[in-house]
Structure 1
Amino acid sequence: MDIQLLGGKVILLTGGTEGIGYECAKVYCEAGAKVSIVSNNLESIQQAKKSFDNDCIHYILADVSVARDIENAVAETIKRFGKIDIVHNNAGISSPSSTVCDTSDEEWDKLFNVNVKGIYHTTKYAISQLTKTRGVILNTGSLVGEIGQERHAAYAATKGAVSALTKSMALDYAADGVRVNAIAPAGVWTPMLRSWSRQQINKEEIEEYLDNIHALGYCPDSDVIADACLFLISEQARFITGCILPVTGGAELGYRKLLQSNPTAV
């Protein structure tokens, strides 16, 4: 990897202290970027500080669902690093694992406020910087936004919204030279997936199930997603916008068939 692939770039990364976001922050720093990480979890920030070179990373305690928090996070990033070239909207939640009718109003609203409205907030407050730098927005979506998922209706709905929003934003900001794309993983071993797996009715079979839904035969760790994210935000992807890039190990090629043959798998 060219260690200067992101040389001189400044990235605002939400949800960057664990899982996919953590691996992305690590890869982005290795590629030469400065990264401002937004997290609403002080404990996870403190844990991440033990692993990262803090000359590369700046941490901000903020909630993506709160407009004032993100307005302040953008201003703090600019004060610290002087500009913003890239916004990676990675923060997200998945709970509850339930049908529409079993999802409460509060759970529904929280999912949309974090997973979708968080993108609205970062874009609203950072777009003036991105138009100056002819920058990039990357959203972390999911394969389930395209194909759905049993007992995960609200989460799948938010990821479908992320895909549609990504394409609309790509059209809106193309004239300003701002590219907007999304990454769409299938199963990836993260703390959030571990939490999800514990909510399933057949917990003992979940690991094997997650391996089997991927055509390549295994459920990956977050580093495979981080490598794809690095490509999409770099100049190597300079003519790509409005793309929902599946990084799925071929999960969509056999996912529906597997669910039909094993309807209690998820």
Structure 2
Amino acid sequence: MPIPATNAGYLLADKVVFLTGGTEGIGFECAQAYQRAGARLCIVSNDRLSIDRARTVLNPEATDFVLADVADSGEIKHAIEHCLRVFGQIDVIHNNAGISSPSKALHDTSEPEWKTLFEVNVGGIYHTTLHGIESLKKTRGTILNTGSLVGEIGQEIHAAYTATKGAVNALTKSMALDYAPLGIRVNAVAPAGVLTPLLRSWSQQQPNPEEVEAYLNQIHALGYCPEGDVIADACLFLISDMARFITGCILPVSGGAELGYKKLLAPQALEAKV
């Protein structure tokens, strides 16, 4: 939906959101939700094709794109500076960019795979904060991190990924304490299963991919695996003034999956891999 000429009264009226990984999956759903709420967007992605696709949907008058890798400090510094040149301020940094591969036990994970996961999923948050904190001080803005339920409860055959998401949870709480005196709120969302390209890639790496769809529905107490729009709605709330007294929160947006988490693999399947 195009943003009207004046967005007064909209939830994110006059806000500028710096959004990483905002061209597909949860991030793209967030981009659309934020734009409908009146925000201007600076979207960072390392995938030129997905940027081109996003351009066809998002309002060009209120959206700018930067091709950059969140794991590269210099590229993110440039992206922050570009956002400030275009929009003049940053009110929200949403650290959504992330990767999930490989789906392996720890001893099967190579050193490059381990390092890459941490450089993207945790290092990306460091880089946007390092280069964006001065702007957030001026606006008394907010930071939102996209975490995962598995960062709290673990997940079989996904050790390195779950380690990064556990780090995101702890980092979110520490950042909330550090930046509260500056009026900057820091929160995270923790989805369980969400039908995104990342999840579909993970599904194909499982020993029994043909059973994964049913599994993904069953793990949620509400009975289905959602699309990314349900996560975007929660993110919109957390970055808006409606959540003005919430900080350090890891918000499960999980359909109750944490209330009775079900294993994907039978124990003998994991033993066979080990």
Where on the TM-score scale, by shorter chain, does this alignment land: which range? over 0.9
Alignment partner, residue 188 of structure 1 = 194
In the alignment, structure 2 segments of 5+ residues that lack a partner are 1-7
TM-score after normalising by structure 1: 0.96
Task: Give the distance between the partners of 1:137 and 1:117, measured in 2 at CA.
Answer: 15
Alignment partner, residue 169 of structure 2 = 163
Alignment partner, residue 3 of structure 2 = none
Deviation at 1:53, TM superposition (A): 1.2
Q: 1:72 aligns to what SS in structure 2?
A: helix
Alignment partner, residue 263 of structure 2 = 259
Alignment partner, residue 79 of structure 1 = 85
Alignment partner, residue 109 of structure 2 = 103
Given that residues 212 and 264 in structure 2 are in contact (C-alpha distance below 8 angstroms), is that contact kept between their aligned partners in structure 1? no
- Judge which range, 49-58 or 109-118, deviates more: 49-58
Deviation >3 Å, runs of 4+: 260-266
Deviation at 1:54, TM superposition (A): 1.0
Q: How does 1:3-152 map to 2 (within 5 A)?
A: 4-152=10-158
- How many residue pairs end up in the alignment? 263
Deviation at 1:262, TM superposition (A): 4.3
Given that residues 209 and 265 in structure 1 are in contact (C-alpha distance below 8 angstroms), is that contact kept between their aligned partners in structure 2? no
In the alignment, structure 1 segments of 5+ residues that lack a partner are none
Pair 1:79–1:199, CA change in 2 (3 A):
same
Q: 1:182 aligns to what SS in structure 2?
A: strand
CA RMSD in angstroms, aligned pairs only: 1.5
Deviation at 1:3, TM superposition (A): 6.5
Task: Give the distance between the partners of 1:128 and 1:192, measured in 2 at CA.
Answer: 32
Q: 2:188 aligns to what SS in structure 1?
A: strand
Deviation at 1:259, TM superposition (A): 1.9
Letter in 2 for 1:233: I
Deviation at 1:265, TM superposition (A): 8.7
Q: 1:16 aligns to what SS in structure 2?
A: coil
Task: Give the distance between the partners of 1:147 and 1:212, measured in 2 at CA.
Answer: 17
CA deviations 1:164-205 (Å, max 9, x no partner) are: 000000000000000000000000000110111011111111
Alignment partner, residue 236 of structure 1 = 242
